[in-house]
Amino acid sequence: MTPAAVTRPAGVPVPWRLPVLAAAGVALLTGLYAALLLLSVPVPTVPRPVEQVHGPLMVLGFVGTLIALERAVALGARWALLAPACSGLGGLVLVVTGASLAGKILLMVASVVLLGIYRALWHRQQSVALLAQATGALAWYVATMLWSAGFSIAELVPWLATFVVATIAGERLELAHVALRSRHAQPLFLAALGTLVTGATAATVWPSAGVQVFGAGLLAVVAWLAVFDVARHTVRATGLPRYVAVGLLAGYAWLALAGLLWAGAGAAVDGHRYDATLHAVFLGFTMSMIFVHAPVILPAVLRRPLPYHRLLYGPLVLLHVSLLARVGIGDALGLEPVWRWAGVVNVASVLTFVGCAVALSVVHRRGARRSPGVVAPTTAR
């Protein structure tokens, strides 16, 4: 996610954004609770089998709502708030009713409105980066359409992964654009994106061969990011730019692992390889992106600063080390106790990040009241 919303006046009142963000928070917390149930951790059970909607809650109810809210703020039109409102409400419906048709339709409507947001942004300025982000929204729509048609969540994974990967890659292209000197950069990006979408489409029709094409598409996207993303330069900086770059590069490594597993071993809908591939994309890559861009995105969305502090490295390192133990020992060697407790630490790393973010924001707000006029820097590339 990018700081695009920082540079454009927002037409969506901040109080309107808070219920949407709260719904995303409920989706996150419920999704994490569902993760503990899936890990067979002895926690209290609830009447509804929320573990059955763990993936959609995390990817669409939480991440999707955050992305849609950022885009709505970037557009600055009040109607655009309908996208994150529908995804947030859809997540709440999944929490209450499970995998109901109502929740699926709300999530589908959210993706359609998000496509409308990208169409409005396209009229302002056309770019390959925006096209990639719109492709991500289209993948969201296809995933919810297939889910409503009776496809299992495991069969939706290539489309859900395309949603987050295309969106984030498009935003990274948007940031890298001013630094791109090669005339081949954008054509290569489009080729990688085309392979990704082709693979996701093929995986729906011919799962065994299609998933391998999809894995190749992921590897092509990672290769492009490794060559052209500004993170490979800013990792030598200090402060927030370096923190962002470290999280990005670590996330790209996990995305490459997922690409290798899919391209080399083919489809998997359960078992240790499925767990490793799934969480390499949605924890190692996606959650890492959220961690490092939160100091930029949250101030833009809430108009409340989240200053960078070295403390933020704590949950980031915890996330990647615990995921390495989960995938490299628990999944690879089939050691269930390691897999289970590494998964618990995965959950703890996300909660620790939320706690750090809240604490830093509160401390900065109190300091700003004592010293008016002092503003912490929040931009990074």
Residue 379 lies in a domain: no
pLDDT at 182: 74
Residue 65: is it exposed, middle or buried by C-beta count within 10 angstroms (0-12/13-18/19+)? Answer: buried
Q: Which among 288, 273, 292 has a CA at the least distance from the CA of 322?
A: 288
CATH number at residue 41: 1.20.210.10
With a cut of 70, say whether residue 7 has pLDDT above it: no
Could you tell me if residue 166 is inside a domain?
A: yes
Task: Please indicate, yes or no, if residue 377 is contained in any of the structural domains.
Answer: no
Q: Among 375, 308, 300, which residue's Cα sits nearest to residue 7? A: 300
Provide the angle, in degrees to the nearest 10, between the axes of the packed helices 286-302 and 239-265: 140
- Averaged pLDDT, 97-126: 96
Q: How far apart are CA 50 and CA 96, in angstroms?
A: 8
Q: Tell me the HSE value of 206 on the side-chain side, using a 13 A CA sphere.
A: 8
236 near 221, Cβ under 8 Å? Answer: no
Average pLDDT, stretch 179-203? 90
- The whole-number pLDDT of residue 375 equals 46
Burial of 366 from C-beta contacts in 10 A (0-12 / 13-18 / 19+) = exposed
Range of the domain at 102: 3-368
Report how many domains make up the chain: 1
Segment 112-139, tens digit of pLDDT: 999 999 999 999 999 999 999 999 999 9
Is residue 381 domain-resident?
no
* Total-model pTM: 0.91
**Average pLDDT score over the chain:** 90
Residue 316 resides in a domain: yes
- pLDDT higher than threshold 60 for residue 251: yes
Q: Is the pLDDT score of 5 beyond 80? A: no
Res 370: pLDDT? 63
Kindly report, residue by residue over 27-48, the tens digit of the pLDDT: 999 999 999 999 999 988 877 7
Q: Say if 376 falls within a structural domain.
A: no
Q: What's the pLDDT score for residue 374?
A: 46
DSSP 42-81: -----SS-GGGGHHHIIIIIIIIHHHHHHHHHHHT-GGGG
Q: What is the pLDDT of residue 312?
A: 95
Q: Is residue 378 part of a domain?
A: no
